[in-house]
Amino acid sequence: MPKKRQNRGRHKGDKGRTRLVQCDNCGRLIPRDKAICITKWYTPVDPQLARELEKKGAIIMKYPVEKCYCVSCAIHYGIIKVRPEEERKAIRGPVI
């Protein structure tokens, strides 16, 4: 059966098995290299208060929060889009 994608939808390469992570939305267990992970910066301070404090010279700490989603949840939330079939297929040159 032909492969739909050259990398089989993963970032693994030739590493073997990777550990499982849970989707932060639905809880599905998916391989770490297949999950769509987004890093957002979180600050516990209110944005309006943070602007006023920064004007006075205070340093507001921000913390990175990484969220991992399964493919179906990432599509549902609009993190990734479904591409047209022409864009999905890799155009390969002639086989010699």
Q: What percent of the chain has a predicted confidence (pLDDT) above 70?
A: 91
Tell me yes or no: is domain 20-82 CATH 3.20.20.370. Answer: no
The closest alpha carbon to 80, from 70, 91, 89, 90, belongs to 70
Query: pLDDT tens digit string along 67-94?
Result: 999 999 999 999 999 888 777 766 555 5
pTM of the complete model: 0.71
Contacts of 69 (CB under 8 A, 6+ apart): 23, 24, 25, 35, 36, 37, 38, 77, 79
Task: State residue 86's pLDDT score.
Answer: 78
